[in-house]
Amino acid sequence: MASVVLPGDSIPLPSSSKPVILGPGLAASSSRIRTPISDDAPAIISTRLGLLSSFKGKEKSEQYWVEGNSKRYIPAQKDMVLGTIIARHAEGYRVDLGSSQMASLEGLAFEGATKRSKPNLKVGTLVYARVSLANRDMEPEIECFDPNTGKAEGFGELKGGLMVSCSLQLCRHLLNSKFPVLPALASTIPFEIAVGLNGRVWLKTETVSESIALKRVIEGVDSGEIKPEKSDIDMAVKQFLA
């Protein structure tokens, strides 16, 4: 069950031996504490107000983050994000993620990229990427491939489609398989989707009207005008397509 935490609160470490991944709103302190699995472990503290949430990943790891109503995205390592290229340079690109700093994307951070063969992306291109480096006092770095496999795995340039801006909280919910919004939409309209934890969602359908309908449904769920239930979503889709 999620619990409310305040900035500066100490977060108890889990008793299991699984690797722990800290998400947004949590940070490792320089002080050390004693835990059930270690006599010298870093203390974990909350950096913002919100609900402490957790998730057991497929890699037998445990993820923890603070679920808040923040409007500005703060980059966190391993986050999936949608970014817009705003500048090019000799080694790569500068990308807008909606955070306080621009992100750096190297030209070699793509599947199969070499010094002689690199993607040639234009300013304004939308890319789906993964945050590879995120420190408080440094410019974040992103990459468009999975470092474990060396393959794109869905990352890279997103062609066509429509981008929707929504809350950070909704984006995290959309990535939860138990959240009914995307399954309900998929039962009505076939589409491609990329969800970024930085408050951006990319959609691509066969027609413009279907893309606009999906956009209005997601915006309605985000604002609270549409309940995240299958019956309500089906009714809203039919209304927007009429």
Between strands 80-88 and 92-96, the pairing is antiparallel
Residue 83, pLDDT score? 97
Contact 80, 130 (CB under 8 A): yes
pLDDT in tens, 70-91: 778 888 888 999 999 999 998 8
pLDDT digits (tens, 9 = 90+) for 106-129: 999 999 888 888 889 999 999 999
What pLDDT is recorded for position 181? 94
> Which residues of the chain are in CATH 2.40.50.100 domains?
3-67
* Percentage with pLDDT > 70 across the chain: 88
User: 162-241: what fold?
Assistant: Ribosomal Protein S8; Chain: A, domain 1 (3.30.1370)
Please give the CATH architecture assigned to the domain spanning 3-67.
Beta Barrel (2.40)
- Region 160-178: what's the mean pLDDT? 90
pLDDT at 185 over 60: yes
Tell me the average pLDDT across 162-180: 90
Q: How high is the pLDDT of residue 5? A: 86
Q: For residue 20, what pLDDT is reported?
A: 76
The Cα angle at residue 124 between residues 24 and 144, in degrees rounded to 5:
50
In this prediction, residue 112 carries a pLDDT of: 87
CB atoms under 10 Å from CB of 102, counted, come to 16
pLDDT of res. 159: 93
Cβ burial, residue 20 (10 Å; 0-12/13-18/19+): middle
Q: What average pLDDT does range 41-50 have in this prediction?
A: 79
Average pLDDT for 210-231? 94
Return the residue matching tokens 């497929």.
Answer: 58
Mean pLDDT of 4-27: 77
**Higher per-residue confidence, 176 vs 35:** 176
- Cα separation, 197 vs 177, whole angstroms: 15
The closest alpha carbon to 162, from 131, 129, 193, belongs to: 193
pLDDT in tens, 49-63: 888 877 765 556 777
What is the spatial distance between Cα 146 and Cα 142, in angstroms, rounded to a whole number?
11
Round to whole Å and give the CA distance between 198 and 79. 8
The segment(s) of the chain belonging to CATH 3.30.1370.10 are 162-241
Residue spans in the chain of domains classed CATH 2.40.50.140: 80-158
pTM of the model: 0.81
Of 142, 148, 76, 135, the C-alpha closest to 107 is 142
Q: Which CATH number describes the domain made up of 80-158?
A: 2.40.50.140
